[in-house]
């Protein structure tokens, strides 16, 4: 007597195939760029067939978008988790560490699935395609909602516009690091070495040269309505 897979078993197998397709797409997009990846490339890497990709995602464009969104969300969610773990009176170095540590973990561990996610984020987030602009803006806003209240407490008197500029400058450092544009060799650095270099640099950008930001707590907080 032939035993047929149960509905739950078929559903589980289908979800495994779906995740393999997403993972293969994430790795290939990170390596080659979004436009250089074909559906055949993906299905071969995922040990799946075109019919399965069409069933789960409908089109190559939808599959690539789902993989990109999953990649960026993974890193953003890790940052949000780190921000939420901070004490209310966290200092700038602690905030910088919460911002950087998920990115450092992804960058320094080639076996980590998030390494491809980090490369995608560095590639896509600065200049997203039109169909992703609104989604990326909303996703980053989720992290900002956790980050900015902590920065305001640590940097009283600094406008939101200035804080946004400083965060964009930090993002530029991360982008240069991930894209291999640093003039010093970084790929063989350990996580602890990279933390030693990167976290003080991020802290310095956030303070913008103010060596004692805590002394400004008595100043009124000025907030600008402008946001990037």
Q: Which domain holds residue 195?
A: 68-216
Span 37-54, pLDDT tens digits: 999 999 999 999 999 999
**27 lies in a domain?**
no
pLDDT for res 180: 76
**26 lies in a domain?**
no
**4 lies in a domain?**
no
pLDDT for res 10: 80
pLDDT for res 218: 38
CA 108 to CA 112: how far, in whole Å?
Answer: 9
**22 lies in a domain?**
no
**207 lies in a domain?**
yes
16 CB neighbour count, 10 Å cutoff: 11
Q: What is the pLDDT along the chain (228 residues), one digit of tens a residue?
A: 445 557 777 888 889 999 999 999 999 999 998 889 999 999 999 999 999 999 999 999 999 999 999 999 999 999 999 999 999 999 999 999 999 999 999 988 877 778 889 989 988 888 888 999 999 999 999 999 999 999 999 999 999 999 999 999 999 999 888 887 766 777 778 899 999 999 999 999 999 877 666 544 434 334 333 343
Q: How many residues does the chain have?
A: 228
- For every residue of 86-147, DSSP letters joined together read S-TT--HHHHHHHHHHHHHHHHH-TT-THHHHHHHHHHHSSS--HHHHHHHHHHHHHHHHHH
Give the residue from 136, 184, 140 showing the smallest Cα distance to 164.
Answer: 140
Tell me, what CATH number does 182's domain have? 1.10.357
Q: How many domains does the chain have?
A: 1
pLDDT for res 212: 64
pTM above 0.85, yes or no: no
**167 lies in a domain?**
yes
């Amino acid at each position: 007597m032939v035993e047929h897979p149960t509905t739950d078993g078929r559903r589980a197998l289908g979800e495994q195939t779906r995740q393999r397709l997403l993972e293969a797409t994430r790795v290939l997009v990170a390596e080659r760029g979004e436009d250089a990846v074909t559906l055949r490339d993906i299905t071969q890497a995922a040990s799946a067939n075109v019919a399965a990709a069409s069933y789960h995602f409908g089109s190559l464009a939808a599959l690539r978008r789902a993989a990109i969104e999953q990649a960026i969300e993974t890193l953003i969610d890790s940052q949000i988790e780190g921000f939420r773990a901070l004490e209310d009176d966290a200092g700038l170095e602690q905030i910088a560490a919460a911002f950087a540590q998920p990115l450092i973990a992804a960058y320094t561990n080639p076996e980590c699935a998030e390494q491809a996610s980090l490369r995608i984020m560095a590639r896509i987030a600065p200049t997203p395609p039109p169909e992703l602009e609104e989604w990326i803006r909303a996703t980053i806003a989720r992290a900002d909602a956790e980050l900015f209240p902590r920065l305001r407490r640590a940097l009283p008197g600094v406008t939101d516009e200035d804080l946004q500029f400083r965060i964009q400058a930090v993002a530029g450092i991360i982008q240069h690091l991930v894209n291999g544009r640093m003039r010093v060799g970084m790929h063989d650095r350990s996580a602890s070495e990279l933390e030693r270099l990167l976290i003080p640099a991020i802290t310095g950008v956030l303070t913008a040269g103010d060596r004692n930001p805590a002394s400004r707590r008595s100043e009124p907080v000025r907030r600008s309505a402008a946001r990037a």
